[in-house]
Every structure is written in C-alpha cells, then in structure tokens.
Structure 1
Amino acid sequence: MTKRFHLHGHAYVDGKASGRLLASNLELSFWGGVDPQTGEVIDRHHPLSGRNLQGAILAIPGGRGSCSGSGVLLELLMNDRGPTAMVFQRREDILTLGVMIAEEIFGKAIPVVTLEATDFCQLLESDGCQVCVEGGDIFSGEPDPNQRQLLHPKTSHLSPPDAEIRLSELDQQFLDGVYGEAARASMRIVIRMATLLGATELMDISQAHIDACIYTGPASLAVAQKLRDWGGRVRVPTSLNSISVDQRRWRAQGVAVELGTPASRLAEAFTDMGATPTFTCAPYQLETAPGLGEQIAWAESNAVVYANSVLGARTMKYPDFLDTAIALTGRAPKAGPHVETNRRATLVVRLVDLQGRDVDDDSFYPLMGYHVGTLSSSQIPLVVGMESLAPSKDDLKAFGAAFATVSSAPMFHIQGVTPEASSSHDVTGADSSIRTVDIKLEDLAGAWTSLNSGSPGRQHVGLVSLGNPHFSLSEIRTLAQLCRNRTKAEGVSVMVTCGRATHGLAEQAGLVGELESFGVQFITDTCWCMIGEPIVGSSVAAVVTNSGKYAHYGPGLTGKDFYFASLAGCVDAACGRRPADLVPGWLARCMR
C-alpha cells in the first residue's frame, strides 16, 4: 500500500490538478529532451527516457540545458500533450515562464509548485502513484473534501514568490497601456518573472538576444504574431538566435513546407518588430558583442554562459518569450547574475593531474565542460588547474556549450582564464565552506563514453556535423587546413552551420570555395539542434560531431547513432576512418 502523505510548498502558478506521478532526481531539458508533439521524453541520457509527460504530475529538481524549454512546454500545453502540474525542488525559471506565457497569452495554465529538498525527496518515493496538487499542497491519492478541511499547511523556508516590485514611471506606463498592448503584456510577464525571482526592482539593459525565434510549433508562432500585431517594437538593439531553417535556401534543401513556411514566418514576425536577422546561436562572434560588466538580456544557453563567463557581461539564462518581453520594454528583473553577489562560485572543481601531461587536441574542452556541468547541475563552478592550457575563445565556446547542456547554472569561472577569476578569492570570497571536488584526466572517460553512444562495432559514418554552436571564422580556417590534400570518402556528408556574417567573411577569404571543393556543405541561419530530414538523410545511420552539445541531444532528436571526436578526428571520419579509432591520444593514454 502506498504511504499517504501531504506536503506543502509554494505555488508559483496556482491551480488544481491530479494524475500519476512521474518523478526523477535528475534535471531535464525540455528542448532536445521532450518531443513537443507527443510528450515523450527523448533525452536518451535521462532516466525518464521513453516515458510520456501527458496527463502526469512531473516532479524533477529543475530544468537544465536550453532556454527553449519554455517554448516546448508551451507547445505541450497548447496541444494537450503536457503534464497536468509540475513540482520542482528549487525555483525553476525557464519552465515556469512557459506556463506563465500560456496563461498570459492564451488563458491556459497548470500548477507549478516548489518544495523544500526533504519534501521533494519524499515525493520521489511515490513515482507512479496517484497524486493531487491544489495550490501549494501536494497529497497522495484522490482528494477527499472532508480530510482536506483538516489539513494545515506547514511553514516553508522557501522565499515567498510575492515580493513587492518597485516600478519606475516608465514601467507603470507600460502597464497602463500607454505604449500599446504588446508592451503592456510584456511588462506583465517581466513583473511576474521578477516576482518569482525575488527581485524588488527592474533595470535597464543595453541589448537583447532572442531565442524565441526557434519554431517549436504553432503556439510559438502565435505568440510572436500576436505581439507584432499588437504593435510590438524592440526598444533596445536586438539580435536573433538561429532559427529552424536556412531562411534563404530551405526550399532548395528540400525542407517540407509544413516546417519551412511557419519557421520563416516566425523569423519575419521578429524582424517586423525591429530585431536584426543575425540568425546565429553565437552572438558573441558579432561586432555587437557586449563588454565586461555590461547589463544585457540574452537567451540561448551557450550564449548566456559565454556572455557571463568569457565576456564578463551580465545576463540571466532568460527563457524564450521572456527574452522577447524584455526586448519590447528594455527592462529586466534586477536579479540573478545581474547582481554581483549572485556571480560567486559555489563549487570548486580542481583538475589535479594536468601538469606535465599533454592535452593535444580540442576534444578536451567539450569533455571537460560536460563533466564539470554534470558535477555542478545547478551551481556556479570555479575550475582550477586549466590555467596552463591558455584556452582560445573557440575552446571556451566548446567548454561552455557542453557545460550548459547538462547544467542549469548561468556561468562558470576558470581560474586565471575568465575575466572575474584572476584568483580563487575573486569569485569565492572568504567562504571556506565551499565544496571542492578533485578530478583527473581519466575521469573524462565517462563523458567520452556518454557522448559516444552509438554502436561500438560500427565501421563508418554517413554524416560529419560541425558548428553547434555556430562555427567561427577561425574554426573554418582550421577546418580548411585539416582538409587540404585529403580526399573525402564516398557516401559521407560533411556539413558546417555558421552565422550569415561568418559565412560572408569566410567566403571573402576564399575558405568557402576551398572547403566546398573538398565536399563540405555550408548551412546558415539554423543550427544542428533544429535540423532533421532531409538535410540529415534518412539513409544516414551514424553521425560524428565535435560538439558535446549535439552529441548529447542528437540521439533523441534524430534517432541516429552518435559519436564524438575532435575536429581533426571528424575530418578523419570524413575520410573514412572508423568511429572506434577516434579516441584522442591524451585520453587513450589516461585509459591504459
């Protein structure tokens, strides 16, 4: 018999619901982890893989990974494929925002509750059982009206989600509709999120980067078109993330009209509102990249982590649609990494055996980022012991993208490398209680095994996927050097995604023509997490990538076998080398 319980937390979105409990103690990214059309968990690295959210009460510690999780949840709610309620162990910004958008724009919502850690652990024990949610109360079985009258909520130590927000005169004008319905609705969304975050005021930001331009389904298009038709206009310089198709060439690439048309219309809705069609998931490569200390509002997980960690700019990990609301008002919650004290490291990860050992290729950085992200699922880490490597911007991009795939933290520090971590004291202060984890190079073998999830006996691959996040000009140049005097194997496609601006510079430098002669195909505007058939051909059984992010998401998104390798290893695979032979020398030496 199931043990009966009654738990009480904070309802960040109020309501009543019942259903079977679907519970896990591991965070889940909805983008790349849940199919928005069916509700199935497709993250093949997650314990809930293959299970379905429809009609369930979902209990997870929080989200992780992509900022587009809010868009996926919105689609699930609008097509009745989503959970009936969500319960978290800590405040969850991205998924809660998806529910708020459904409520504000479409009048449809589900309860969202946060429990204390001990109560959440108790709830996990009832996975698969019938559970009811009413306000902040969570109890087993079906509701009994007589018993419910006798239940008294216990005191919670969680911060209440009802902080008073001090509004400026401009903020109030937005709320009063002085600047139109789009600005009014946007300010309501910003204030609701500020309340959830415990902020007491809003702040100006200098620029925005919108991730909500990714097409997750009809609801994402409907939100953008409503805001545009309500007169929405961005009030700060605003760049756009990768979209779901190569806008200028999707027809020639054979993309179905059912995807190409609405995806292109979604992009147009944002450019109609004044956003710039940069269409890149690496806005830090643009000339408009922010500087140290600049207050910005960026979405897209890898871009957020890079902005905070490498550039030293300040942004929260903004969910899709909140990024839009901020762009349309120029106002953001003064909370999270916007505030100095919230940028402190809360975990130290020490790489203890690097000195005197060669790390001789670029595969180290995504593997290290993936491993560190796994260790710090919600904590900002300080990484010690990498100083001697002097990582490049591209190395830090690869580290950050892999880190952001498995961690919900908005940033990391690397001692002696990232701008705020000249010393450990700079980012830990005088706190001697911070937990320290020691790792060795050989510990990265676990990340290698996880990202090489394909069949170990496979003899060849059909696709080499590069550019997730988007390739930089220096990476295109390095790729050209690696491909010179080599011959691509028959039956292997090599594809690079990059931003329009980067592609233009590479074309001017003669690199595009040279690589196309080798057999490389370039795709702009979109990125690998949005690409499917026919670009990824149905005959392709296996994919090799140098992206830790895509090696994680790819199996669930495409159903293909996936292998991870260095950039040089990817070129070797393009020339016919077997996946089993792509283990980097530095890691092979550790594994002996």
Structure 2
Amino acid sequence: MTAPALRLTGEETAMLDGGRGAGTAMAMRMVVALAGVLGAERLIPITGAHIDSCLYHGQAGLDFAQKLAGLGAAVTVPTTLNVSSLDLMHPGLVRLPPADAVPARALMEAYRALGARATWTCAPYQSTERPAFGEDIAWAESNAIVFANSVLGAHTERYGDFIDICAAITGRVPHAGLHLPEHRLPTLELDCSALSTARLGEEAVWAALGDVVGRQSGSGVPLLAGIDPAVVDEDRLKALGSTAASSGGLALFHVAGVTPEALAAAGDPAWSGLPSLAVTAAMLRTARDELSHGADPSAPLDAVALGTPHFSVREFGKLAAALEGRPAFHPGCTVWINTSREVLAQVRQSGLVQAAEERGARIVVDTCTYITPILGPEERTVMTPSGKWAWYAPMNIGVDVVLGTLSECLDSACAGRVLRDERQWD
C-alpha cells in the first residue's frame, strides 16, 4: 500500500525551501521526514514545545543544536527546556569530569541561543504557563508527555531528541498518532475498585499502580475505573504516569470521572465494552517489591531521593507537614530533593522548604539525581517514593533502591536504615 503524499501549505513549502532561513529549512526537513515515516498527509501547527535534547549524551547532540543556532534558527512557539546535566545554581554539586561538563554547559547555552526558556525541568506542567485542553503541542520527556496528554488533555505524540527542537522551530508536527482523536480512545479498562481510598493516599502507591498500568497496557491507552475522584490530585497522577511511561510505552491514560477526556466522554459507547482487568492490592505490593532493586533491608540507608519528576509546591507542603515532630535526618543518610527553579523560588518565599533543609536535606535544580553523578560513591542504598527513580537509577548510576511511601522514606532517613510500615501497603 502506497503511503499518502504529504501536502504542505505555502508557508510550509517556504520553510522547507529555505525561504525562512537555512536553520528553519534544516528543521523542516526533519519534520517532513518524520511525517513520511508516520504516513501523515499534512502538518499541523502547535502552540508550544518542551525540549528533551538539552540533556547531554554526547557530541552529536551538541553538534546538532549548535548547527541549528549557527544557521540562524529560532523557536517560533513558547518552548521550555527539560533537565540538563548540570545544576547551575549549585556549582560543583554534579561530579561530571570537565570533558563532559564543558560540552554539557555548551549544550545548555545552545538551546538558550535558539530562544528556548531556561526552565530546566522535567515537569513543565508545574509552570503557570501550560497547555490547555485540546491544544496540539510537541512535548518530549516521557513523564511530561503522559501528563500533558492525560491530565491536561493536550495533544502530543512521543517526541524525542532532535525532532522536539525541530518542531519548536517550525511550529509544525505531523498530523498523526495522538494528535488524532481516534488514537486517543481507551483500549483497555483497568478496574481499580478493589483498591481502598486509604491505600491510594500515598504517591508511592500510585507509582506502584503506574508500574502495573505500564506493564499491562504496553503502548495502549488504559482507562482506570473504580477510583474515587476525591482521592486524586495532580501529584498522584504524576506518579502514576511517570512510572507507567517507564515500565511500558504509555503516553496517555484516562481515569473515569477525573481526567478531562474521560469526563467529556461520559456515556460515549466507544468507551464501553473494553477488555477489562482487575487491579488488586497484591499486584501493587508485587510492583513495589519489583521496583526495589537489590537492596538489603538490613543494610544502612545511605540516601533518600525525592522529586522525580520534579517536586511540586504541593509536595513541598506535604513534606513540611510530614516533618513536623520528626528529628534531624541521620548523619549517614542524605535526603536529596529534585525540583525546578520556579518551584524552589515559590517554596522559599512561602517557607515550605526550610523544614527539610534544617534537617539536612539538599536541594537539586536544573537536573535530577538519577541521571547525572550527584550522589557520592558511598551512597549505595537509596529509598525513594518515585517509581521512575526506582526504575532508572539502578541502570544509570548503579545504586540499590527501595521503593517506599513518603512517611516510610522519612522514618528511614531519620533512623539511617530501611523501615517498612506494611499497613500502608495492605
């Protein structure tokens, strides 16, 4: 079967032919090539972009960004930047050798030269400027993609490095994939009615649920049913989506009675009669144990990692409340909190971060502890409520991980060893 021919508008043809500059032409060639791969018949305009390419993985990424900038390219839509390889607010915190640190900094500058906003966060949805329901955008970074699609109801495909900045420069993406309404329909129902409201009161439990959702859904579109909307907030959906995008190829999920497309589709027959699977507490406990990689529960706890994806203002508030009455963290256990500059400024002004810092917590911005060398060589056993951190850190930085709720993490950080409260998982 012959793929349909791509039809370009006059403006798009001008971009491709160099009428908007050599840099824009280079970017448009990439977008057109992707459209051919996806079988798209046309391109569509976008209202914003989020760039993952600014994380340094090698010289090729730097060459690409500098080439675009050198050819005079610039973004044409509001564009945010994902985490980088460095924390520019805390020099020396990241232990990259100069051979990597210098080009990593150059890569950050190249994307700023292209006109992107220096947000340096994996959670652009925590900004005051975020896409509205139904808007077409080009977001990269797996958790940002699934949050935008699922929680905000914006439309983005799984855009990766290089194509993300090309979309931002041209303001176009192929009319394909999750930009099409028919590809956003649920393909599987996950019945969560057996999970108690009390059990769903912890983000780590939502992370375990996300692991189950990702494994069961693959690259499909699950509809989670049977969850009380009163127990849902954005941080819990963030925990669910970020872990599901790690354990599977998930880019979109729906929660009945909660997420915008599920609310809009109430009574739609296309959302009924789906294949169904019951999710049980035993499945969540199994997911928790599988996300706890190689850690010896009897060994000392070296660190706690919070904020993957980046800690929100609400999460800092929950942390401050949870720290009331708790002592300082054990001197042998460092508590790391990853967040964005924007959120950090807000919680410093409101006083929500001081309680953690007074007990010894260390703040990381611009990057994340699971992807760049921040933890010291002595920090081998780490506890976290983040399914994404638990999924990737063992591979990326070679640590043993224990997945736990926030209260389990804080109790353990104070004791200097892993403490479990199985009642939170029963």
TM-score by length of 1: 0.69
Q: Is the 8 A contact 1:382 1:412 kept in 2?
A: yes
1:241 corresponds to which letter in structure 2? N
Over residues 380-421 of structure 1, what are the superposed CA-to-partner deviations in whole Å (9 max), with x where a residue is unaligned? 100111135531111111111001112213100011111111
Change (3 A) 1:384 1:225: same
1:197: Cα distance to partner? 1.3
2:102 corresponds to which letter in structure 1? T
- Residue 56 (structure 2) pairs with residue 218 (structure 1): no
Q: Is the 8 A contact 1:360 1:585 kept in 2?
A: no
2:396 corresponds to which letter in structure 1? L
Q: Is the 8 A contact 2:295 2:402 kept in 1?
A: no
1:356: Cα distance to partner? 7.5
> Which of 201, 216, 221 does residue 380 from structure 1 map onto?
221
1:439: Cα distance to partner? 2.0
Q: Report the secondary structure of 2:262's partner residue.
A: coil
Change (3 A) 1:389 1:444: farther
2:166 corresponds to which letter in structure 1? A
> Which of 546, 555, 575 does residue 385 from structure 2 map onto?
546
Counterpart in the other structure of 1:416: 257
Q: Report the secondary structure of 2:128's partner residue.
A: coil
Q: Is the 8 A contact 1:345 1:428 kept in 2?
A: no
1:326: Cα distance to partner? 0.4
> Which of 305, 308, 313 does residue 465 from structure 1 map onto?
305
Counterpart in the other structure of 1:121: none
1:459: Cα distance to partner? 2.7
Which stretch of structure 1 is more off in the superposition, 481-490 or 515-524? 481-490
Counterpart in the other structure of 1:453: 293
Instruction: Measure, in 2, the Cα distance between the counterparts of 1:386 and 1:437.
Output: 14
Counterpart in the other structure of 2:145: 304
Counterpart in the other structure of 2:234: 393
Counterpart in the other structure of 2:352: 511
Instruction: Measure, in 2, the Cα distance between the counterparts of 1:206 and 1:351.
Output: 35
2:420 corresponds to which letter in structure 1? L
Instruction: Measure, in 2, the Cα distance between the counterparts of 1:394 and 1:402.
Output: 12
Q: Is the 8 A contact 2:265 2:271 kept in 1?
A: no
Instruction: Measure, in 1, the Cα distance between the counterparts of 2:414 and 2:351.
Output: 22
Instruction: Measure, in 1, the Cα distance between the counterparts of 2:225 and 2:9.
Output: 42
Instruction: Measure, in 2, the Cα distance between the counterparts of 1:423 and 1:267.
Output: 40
- Residue 417 (structure 2) pairs with residue 578 (structure 1): yes
- Residue 416 (structure 2) pairs with residue 564 (structure 1): no
Change (3 A) 1:252 1:381: closer
Q: Identity rate of aligned residues, in percent?
A: 36
Change (3 A) 1:287 1:437: same
Change (3 A) 1:252 1:358: closer
User: What does residue range 74-223 of structure 1 map to in structure 2 within 5 Å?
Assistant: 162-223=3-64
1:360: Cα distance to partner? 4.3
Instruction: Measure, in 2, the Cα distance between the counterparts of 1:575 and 1:198.
Output: 55
Counterpart in the other structure of 2:132: 291
> Which of 449, 463, 477 does residue 317 from structure 2 map onto?
477
1:239: Cα distance to partner? 0.6
Counterpart in the other structure of 1:123: none
1:179: Cα distance to partner? 1.4
Q: Which has the higher contact order (CA 8 A, sep 6+)?
A: 2
Q: Report the secondary structure of 1:226's partner residue.
A: helix
1:457: Cα distance to partner? 4.1
Instruction: Measure, in 2, the Cα distance between the counterparts of 1:175 and 1:528.
Output: 40
1:509: Cα distance to partner? 1.3
Over residues 503-555 of structure 1, what are the superposed CA-to-partner deviations in whole Å (9 max), with x where a residue is unaligned? 111111123333211101111111133222xx211011201111100101111
Counterpart in the other structure of 2:161: 320
1:455: Cα distance to partner? 3.1
Instruction: Measure, in 2, the Cα distance between the counterparts of 1:195 and 1:178.
Output: 22
Instruction: Measure, in 1, the Cα distance between the counterparts of 2:320 and 2:13.
Output: 55
Q: Is the 8 A contact 1:215 1:263 kept in 2?
A: yes
1:338 corresponds to which letter in structure 2? H
Change (3 A) 1:284 1:359: closer
Counterpart in the other structure of 2:120: 279
Instruction: Measure, in 2, the Cα distance between the counterparts of 1:296 and 1:455.
Output: 40
Instruction: Measure, in 2, the Cα distance between the counterparts of 1:356 and 1:252.
Output: 40
Change (3 A) 1:428 1:321: farther
Instruction: Measure, in 1, the Cα distance between the counterparts of 2:297 and 2:354.
Output: 35
Counterpart in the other structure of 1:235: 76
Q: Is the 8 A contact 2:121 2:339 kept in 1?
A: yes
Q: Is the 8 A contact 1:228 1:269 kept in 2?
A: yes
Which stretch of structure 1 is more off in the superposition, 453-462 or 341-350? 453-462
Q: Is the 8 A contact 2:197 2:228 kept in 1?
A: no
1:406 corresponds to which letter in structure 2? S
Instruction: Measure, in 2, the Cα distance between the counterparts of 1:408 and 1:539.
Output: 33
2:277 corresponds to which letter in structure 1? V
Over residues 274-318 of structure 1, what are the superposed CA-to-partner deviations in whole Å (9 max), with x where a residue is unaligned? 100011100000011111111111111101100110011111111
1:254: Cα distance to partner? 4.6
Counterpart in the other structure of 1:520: 361
1:424: Cα distance to partner? 7.0
Change (3 A) 1:458 1:555: farther
Change (3 A) 1:191 1:197: same
Change (3 A) 1:252 1:498: closer
Q: Is the 8 A contact 1:212 1:320 kept in 2?
A: yes
Over residues 18-61 of structure 1, what are the superposed CA-to-partner deviations in whole Å (9 max), with x where a residue is unaligned? xxxxxxxxxxxxxxxxxxxxxxxxxxxxxxxxxxxxxxxxxxxx
Q: Is the 8 A contact 1:198 1:335 kept in 2?
A: yes
Q: Is the 8 A contact 1:415 1:423 kept in 2?
A: no
Q: Report the secondary structure of 1:342's partner residue.
A: helix
Structure 2: runs of 5+ lacking an equivalent: none
Q: Is the 8 A contact 2:229 2:258 kept in 1?
A: no
**What CA RMSD, in Å, does the superposition of the two structures yield over aligned residues?**
1.9
Please identify the structure whose Cα radius of gyration is greater: 1
Q: Report the secondary structure of 1:209's partner residue.
A: strand
Q: Is the 8 A contact 1:346 1:428 kept in 2?
A: no
1:458: Cα distance to partner? 3.1
Counterpart in the other structure of 1:437: 277
Q: Is the 8 A contact 2:44 2:172 kept in 1?
A: yes
1:569 corresponds to which letter in structure 2? E
1:461: Cα distance to partner? 1.1
2:320 corresponds to which letter in structure 1? A
Q: Report the secondary structure of 1:327's partner residue.
A: helix
